[in-house]
Structure 1
Amino acid sequence: MRRALVLVASALILSACGAKTPPPPTPEQAAALRPADAKLAALYETSCHACHATPGTGAPLVHDRVAWDPRWKQGEAVLLDHTIQGFNAMPATGQCVACTPGDFQGLIRFMAGREDSAK
Structure 2
Amino acid sequence: MYRIILMALLTGISSHSMAELVEIGSDKSITIYADPATIQRIGSKVIMSEMGDFKSTNATGGKSFLSMRKQQEYECKDKQMRTLRINLYSGNMGRGELVHTDHQSRNWEPVSPGSYGDFLWRTACKKP
Q: TM-score surpassing 0.5?
A: no
* Structure (1 or 2) with the greater helix fraction: 1
User: What TM-score comes out, normalization by structure 2 length?
Assistant: 0.28
CA radius of gyration, larger in: 1
User: What TM-score comes out, normalization by structure 1 length?
Assistant: 0.29
